[in-house]
Amino acid sequence: MTSLHIQTALLAHPQLSVALGKQIWLKMENTQPSGSFKLRGIGLLCQRAVASGATQLVCPSGGNAGFAAAFAGAALGVRTTVVVPETTSAAVIKRIRAIGAEVVVHGSAWHEANQAALQMCEQAGVIYIPPFDHPDIWDGNATLIDEAAAQARVLGVDFDVVICAVGGGGLMSGILQGMHRNGMKQVPLIAVETEGAASLHAAVGAGELVSLPAVTSIATSLNATRVAAAAFNWTRQHTVLSVKISDAQAVAACLSFADDMRTLVEPACGAALAVAYQRLPALEKFKRPLIVVCGGIGVSLETLASWKTQFSL
């Protein structure tokens, strides 16, 4: 089965490396054809579903998962429906429709869109594509670490920490799965969330899964009110440092990254980058971090400028 995702570059971040006195490495998932890492896991799930007889894919997501499902459906030649809540921007809806998917707008929040998606999947051949909570998604996302580990061996690099943003936990679960199958069981993971979307941080603090009353962060790609059980369970099997930052810190990192690397990323991605840009204490003892640049389609020059104004940066 040929993968829908591509191999992405492992790049050094020269400015941050000098400023911090560390070797800062970037896994550039923003360069995936779908604009984010989501194509790894969502793509594999869609491929396996179609191979098992699916004739239509339905994904409840007003963001990167929906766009990845639309991309996968087009590549696989099957009808794809993306169900989005009313809060989804017109620009994102336009981008999803532009690659051939049907977009259904339903409900004021994701859980209502999700219910509508589940109802559509009661018909034969119509398969539900969740945004993050599925073993096939974690399998696909784990390939990110397979690649990074192979690239690091060629470069003679030995990562001593991995940094990723956390929304629903699909990326985190895949990364940890990949780390464990690539001899990185002892390498800690820094899991970063923004205030107002920190369901993993709340769960770690409570010692059990917690549902947030609402997501209030501008990092809408991190908009899961409850992290996947698999992601929380990983915190009991692996050293996971849960870090929470502000929206302003995430946006500041996006702006700095645009200047340094000439690349636009969402605040959800800026959350991971902020650990280095903001010199957070969690990074202090590490010398060779790998930052997963998860990407995202919900950013433009216009939105980046508006966030800069909003936070007086």
Based on the domain organization, do 98 and 224 belong to the same domain? no
Mean pLDDT confidence for 123-129: 93
Q: How far apart are CA 50 and CA 136, in angstroms?
A: 13
Based on the domain organization, do 153 and 291 belong to the same domain? yes
Based on the domain organization, do 123 and 30 belong to the same domain? no
Based on the domain organization, do 73 and 197 belong to the same domain? no
Flag whether 257 is in a domain: yes
Q: Token digits for 64?
A: 């990167």
Between 86 and 98, name the one with better pLDDT. Answer: 98
Residue 274 has pLDDT above 80, yes or no: yes
Hey, which residues does 84 pair with through a beta bridge?
105
Q: Which residue has the tokens 């604009």?
A: 35
The domain boundary residue, chosen from 128, 162, 184: 128
Residue pLDDT, tens place only, 170-193:
999 999 999 999 999 999 999 999
Q: Token digits for 32?
A: 């995936």
Range of the domain at 110: 38-128
What pLDDT shows up at residue 216?
Answer: 86
Average model confidence (pLDDT) for the chain? 95
* Residue 165: closest CA among 267, 66, 69: 267
Based on the domain organization, do 71 and 210 belong to the same domain? no
Based on the domain organization, do 119 and 184 belong to the same domain? no
Burial (CB < 10 A; 0-12, 13-18, 19+), residue 309, is exposed
Based on the domain organization, do 97 and 15 belong to the same domain? no
Residue pLDDT, tens place only, 32-72:
999 999 999 999 999 999 999 999 999 998 789 999 999 99
Based on the domain organization, do 289 and 246 belong to the same domain? yes
The domain boundary residue, chosen from 128, 151, 183: 128
Based on the domain organization, do 119 and 194 belong to the same domain? no
What does pTM read for this prediction? 0.95
What pLDDT shows up at residue 187?
Answer: 98
Residue 293 has pLDDT above 90, yes or no: yes
Flag whether 61 is in a domain: yes
Residue 111 has pLDDT above 90, yes or no: no
Q: Which DSSP helix (H) or strand (E) runs through 174?
A: helix 170-180
What pLDDT shows up at residue 259?
Answer: 97
What pLDDT shows up at residue 209?
Answer: 95
Based on the domain organization, do 157 and 306 belong to the same domain? yes
Give 194's pLDDT tier (boundaries 50, 70, 90).
very high
What pLDDT shows up at residue 92?
Answer: 85
Q: Token digits for 191?
A: 């899991």
Residue pLDDT, tens place only, 141-155:
999 999 999 999 999
| Number of structural domains the chain divides into | 2
CATH number assigned to the domain comprising residue 236: 3.40.50.1100
What pLDDT shows up at residue 37?
Answer: 97
What pLDDT shows up at residue 90?
Answer: 87
Flag whether 5 is in a domain: no
Based on the domain organization, do 143 and 254 belong to the same domain? yes
Residue pLDDT, tens place only, 295-305:
999 899 999 99
User: What percent of the chain has pLDDT above 90?
Assistant: 86
Flag whether 4 is in a domain: no
The domain boundary residue, chosen from 96, 112, 128: 128
Flag whether 2 is in a domain: no
Residue 89 has pLDDT above 90, yes or no: no
Residue pLDDT, tens place only, 215-270:
888 887 777 889 999 999 999 999 999 999 999 999 999 999 999 999 999 999 99
CB 52 within 8 A of CB 68: no
Based on the domain organization, do 16 and 55 belong to the same domain? no
Q: How far apart are CA 164 and CA 283, in angstroms?
A: 12
What pLDDT shows up at residue 23?
Answer: 98
